[in-house]
């Protein structure tokens, strides 16, 4: 409320004065109500009494004249003569002023008759507030792509705008009429600094006020990276630029989520287990910021689990198995098991993704359940192949060795699954005394055609019998313990053999007498005259 007064110059002993005051009618009306009161007094100690006082008081062009219905006495004290109240318009910026004037003339028939005191003055009215003041403008919450602002003002607001580029562009935001509120700006770029301003519209004046700039940065998107992987697990590192209090992960690009649990850090790692080998997973990590309780997801990371190492049979023998192995990353050490993983034997290898190893000292015709364990050089993690059942080759075995008559050939059939070098021979049943020494054999049959020396050895074995039992042996050439044998009977008949003399010396033959009854034996010596004698 503005107010004031001013006195007129005296005329004789008469002086006038105006007291004024103004009250704002608000920015919508943009006017003030102004009241001016005209006073008069004598400048000496005498008084003047009368009814015909004259004069006026004016506010701008509005005027009220002095008009008394009865006599009024004016002495040295101020006496109200007239008053006026008028509405005065302000300028567009809320400022205002008005010219106030007045005049008073003494009544007729008195000593003040003809004396007139006049004065006027332009007075300044209170400026009508046109703009509100912004009490606060702060960021209460932020995320990677949003800001939430709180604001308050001195006056009622009906609309706000915000700018994220220091006022170069503005976006309107309707609000409930009031002196405070909040709103959220979305669609921002992560890890970016924005200079934000607020513009508010005062409801009564519809005029706007801008805040100073508030610099604020959006959060960076949380990041993740591969720590390690195996055939069935993936280990993920995560980081965030403010403390996180909870973590989730997804293996299907965010279609479903699994809670990891509480965290209180800006970085960490977690393990995903129970995955399938040689399978691609689109990993995402969801991080909840402790301060704002907002969540945001990392971008997807495609990770393919390792293939299960593979093994295959390279070759096998009677007592060894050679295995191929392969892996989809460099291996620096392997182990093998022949009992499906119950026990393992280490086997150093040259760094690589494939190779072979040989398991020795095995038993023939034995089934082994083989597994290979590979250690990946990069991660030092191990994984086992699936099992492979391998049976070592059986030793060479005699299929058939028939009984024969003395002097006939002997044909032996046999199997040789390993295609090893074999030897065959005929010995007494003690397995020590040779009749036909070991000789190499190949294929699946061998025929003995006995020499005279070999036949003579048989003769000596008959004694008083006409048949003997001998043993046919089949062995692996480089391992005499891999041995098979079959007992056969050789029968001596009287007309089976002809005694003869050769150039090398005297030969001996058995002679049977009385073949229909008891057996008699005689030794016939044939002289060495380079001729042959037949003895039956």
**pLDDT higher than 60, residue 521:** no
What are the tens digits of pLDDT across the range 218-238? 999 999 999 999 999 999 999
Give residue 536's pLDDT.
35
Same domain, 6 and 121: yes
Same domain, 102 and 167: no
What are the tens digits of pLDDT across the range 361-385? 999 999 999 999 999 999 899 999 9
How far from 480 is each of 435, 438, 473, 476, 477, CA to CA, in Å? Answer: 18, 11, 10, 6, 7
What are the φ/ψ torsions at residue 428 (nearest 5 degrees)?
-60, 165
Task: Decide if 462 is inside a domain.
Answer: no
**pLDDT higher than 80, residue 144:** yes
Q: What is the mean pLDDT of residues 298-322?
A: 97
**pLDDT higher than 60, residue 38:** yes
Q: Count the Cβ atoms, other than its own, within 10 Å of residue 106.
A: 26
C-alpha span between 449 and 455 (Å, rounded): 10
Span of 27-31, 93-97, 245-249, 264-268 with lowest mean pLDDT = 27-31
Which alpha helices (DSSP H) does 190-334 contain, by range? none
Residue 72 belongs to a domain with what CATH number? 2.60.40.1470
How would residue 27 be classed by pLDDT, with cut points 50, 70 and 90? confident
What are the tens digits of pLDDT across the range 508-517? 455 544 444 4
Residue where one domain finishes, among candidates 217, 235, 254: 217
Instruction: Supply the mean pLDDT for the chain.
Output: 91
Same domain, 227 and 206: no
205: left (phi over 0), alpha (psi -120 to 50) or beta: alpha
Same domain, 18 and 113: yes
Same domain, 440 and 478: yes
- Centroid of chain to Cα 99: 79
Same domain, 479 and 534: no
Residue where one domain finishes, among candidates 125, 145, 170: 125
Give residue 93's pLDDT.
83
Give residue 494's pLDDT.
59
Task: Decide if 143 is inside a domain.
Answer: yes
C-alpha span between 5 and 21 (Å, rounded): 9
Residue where one domain finishes, among candidates 217, 244, 278: 217
Residue 212 belongs to a domain with what CATH number? 2.60.40.10
Same domain, 7 and 118: yes
Pick the closest to residue 355 from 380, 332, 371, 337 (CA basis): 332
Q: What is the mean pLDDT of residues 54-73?
A: 96
Give the domain range for residue 200: 134-217
Task: Decide if 176 is inside a domain.
Answer: yes
Span of 205-209, 308-312, 328-332, 449-453 with lowest mean pLDDT = 205-209
Task: Decide if 340 is inside a domain.
Answer: yes
User: Where do the DSSP E strands lie in 203-233?
Assistant: 208-210, 214-217, 223-229
Task: Decide if 237 is inside a domain.
Answer: yes
Same domain, 482 and 535: no
**pLDDT higher than 50, residue 503:** no
Higher pLDDT pick, 29 / 486: 486
- Centroid of chain to Cα 117: 95
What are the φ/ψ torsions at residue 474 (nearest 5 degrees)?
-130, 120
C-alpha span between 62 and 56 (Å, rounded): 10
Task: Decide if 155 is inside a domain.
Answer: yes
- Tell me the whole-structure pTM to 2 decimals: 0.61
Percentage of the chain beyond pLDDT 70 is: 92
C-alpha span between 72 and 294 (Å, rounded): 81
What are the tens digits of pLDDT across the range 466-500? 999 999 999 999 888 999 999 999 999 854 444 44
Same domain, 242 and 176: no
Task: Decide if 179 is inside a domain.
Answer: yes
Same domain, 117 and 7: yes
Query: Taking the alpha carbons of 453, 454, 459, 463 in that order, is the dihedral positive or negative?
Result: positive
Q: What is the mean pLDDT of residues 174-180?
A: 92
**Domain total of the chain:** 6
Q: What is the mean pLDDT of residues 56-80?
A: 96
Same domain, 83 and 24: yes
Give residue 131's pLDDT.
85
Same domain, 336 and 371: yes
Neighbouring-strand partners of residue 134: 153
Strand order in the sheet with 410-415: 397-400, 410-415, 445-448
Q: What is the mean pLDDT of residues 144-162?
A: 95
Give residue 468's pLDDT.
96
């Amino acid at each position: 409320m503005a107010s004031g007064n001013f006195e007129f110059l005296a005329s004789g002993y008469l002086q006038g004065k105006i007291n004024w005051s103004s009250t704002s009618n608000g920015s919508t009306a943009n006017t003030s109500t102004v009241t001016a009161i005209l006073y008069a007094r004598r400048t000496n100690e005498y008084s003047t009494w009368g009814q015909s006082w004259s004069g006026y008081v004016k506010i701008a062009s509005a005027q009220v004249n002095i008009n008394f219905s009865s006599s009024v006495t004016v002495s040295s004290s101020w006496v109200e003569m007239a008053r006026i109240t008028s509405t005065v318009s302000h300028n567009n910026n809320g400022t205002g002023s008005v010219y106030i004037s007045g005049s008073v003339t003494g009544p007729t028939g008195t000593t003040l008759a003809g004396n007139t005191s006049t004065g006027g003055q332009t007075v300044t009215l209170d400026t009508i507030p046109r703009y509100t003041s912004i009490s606060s403008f702060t960021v209460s919450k932020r995320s990677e792509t949003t800001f939430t602002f709180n604001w308050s003002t001195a006056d009622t607001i009906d609309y706000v705008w915000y700018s994220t580029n220091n006022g170069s562009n503005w976006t309107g935001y309707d609000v409930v009429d009031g002196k405070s509120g909040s709103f959220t700006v979305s669609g921002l770029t992560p890890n970016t600094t924005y200079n934000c301003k607020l513009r508010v519209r005062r409801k009564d004046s519809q005029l706007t006020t801008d805040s100073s700039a508030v610099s604020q940065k959006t959060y960076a998107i949380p990041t993740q990276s591969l720590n390690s992987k195996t055939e069935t697990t993936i280990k993920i590192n995560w980081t965030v630029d403010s403390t996180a209090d909870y973590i989730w992960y997804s293996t299907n690009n965010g279609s479903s989520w699994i809670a990891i649990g509480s965290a209180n850090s800006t970085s960490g790692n977690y393990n995903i287990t129970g995955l399938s080998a040689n399978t691609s997973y689109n990993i995402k990590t969801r991080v909840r910021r402790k301060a704002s309780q907002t969540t945001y997801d990392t971008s997807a990371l495609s990770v393919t689990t390792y293939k299960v190492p593979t093994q295959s049979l390279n070759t096998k023998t009677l007592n060894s198995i050679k295995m191929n192995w392969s892996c989809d990353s460099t291996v620096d050490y392997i182990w093998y098991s022949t009992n499906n993983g119950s026990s393992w034997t280490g086997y150093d290898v040259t760094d690589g993704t494939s190779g072979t190893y040989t398991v020795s000292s095995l038993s023939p015709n034995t089934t082994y359940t083989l597994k290979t364990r590979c250690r990946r050089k990069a991660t030092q993690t191990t994984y086992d192949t699936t099992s492979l059942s391998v049976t070592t080759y059986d030793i060479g075995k005699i299929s058939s060795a028939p009984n024969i008559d003395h002097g006939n050939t002997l044909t032996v059939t046999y199997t040789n699954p390993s295609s090893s070098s074999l030897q065959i021979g005929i010995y007494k049943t003690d397995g020590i005394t040779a009749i036909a020494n070991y000789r190499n054999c190949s294929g699946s049959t061998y025929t003995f055609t006995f020499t005279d020396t070999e036949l003579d050895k048989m003769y000596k074995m008959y004694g008083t019998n006409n048949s003997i039992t001998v043993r046919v042996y089949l062995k692996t050439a480089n391992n005499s313990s891999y041995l098979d044998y079959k007992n056969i009977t050789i029968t001596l008949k009287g007309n089976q053999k002809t005694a003869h003399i050769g150039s090398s010396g005297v030969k001996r033959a058995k002679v049977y007498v009385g073949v229909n009854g008891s057996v008699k034996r005689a030794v016939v010596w044939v002289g060495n005259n380079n001729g042959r004698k037949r003895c039956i």
